[in-house]
Structure 1
Amino acid sequence: MSDAERQRRHAIRLRAADLFKHRTPTAEIARRLRVSPRAVQRWHRSWKQGGTGALASTGPPARPRLDTDDQQRLEAELAKGPTSHGWDDQRCTLARIRQVICTHFDVGYTLPGVWYLLRRMGWSFQQPAHRSTERDDAAIQVWKKDVWPAVNRPRRPATPGSSSRTKPGTS
Structure 2
Amino acid sequence: MESADAPARRRRARRGQGRHLGEGDLAAGKSTAARLKAWILFEDEAGQSLRPPKARTWSRRGQTPKILVSGKGSGRVNLAGMIAVRPGCRTRLIYRAIAYHGRRNEKKGFRERDLAGMLDAAHQQLGRANIVLVWDNDTSHRDAAMKKLIAERDWLTVFYLPTYTPTLNPVEGVWSALKRSLANLAPHGTDALAALVKTRLRIMQYRRDGLLDGFIAETGLGLEPP
TM norm structure 1: 0.25
Higher strand share: 2
TM norm structure 2: 0.20
Higher relative contact order (CA 8 A, sep 6+): 2
Higher helix share: 1
Tell which structure's C-alpha radius of gyration is larger. Answer: 1
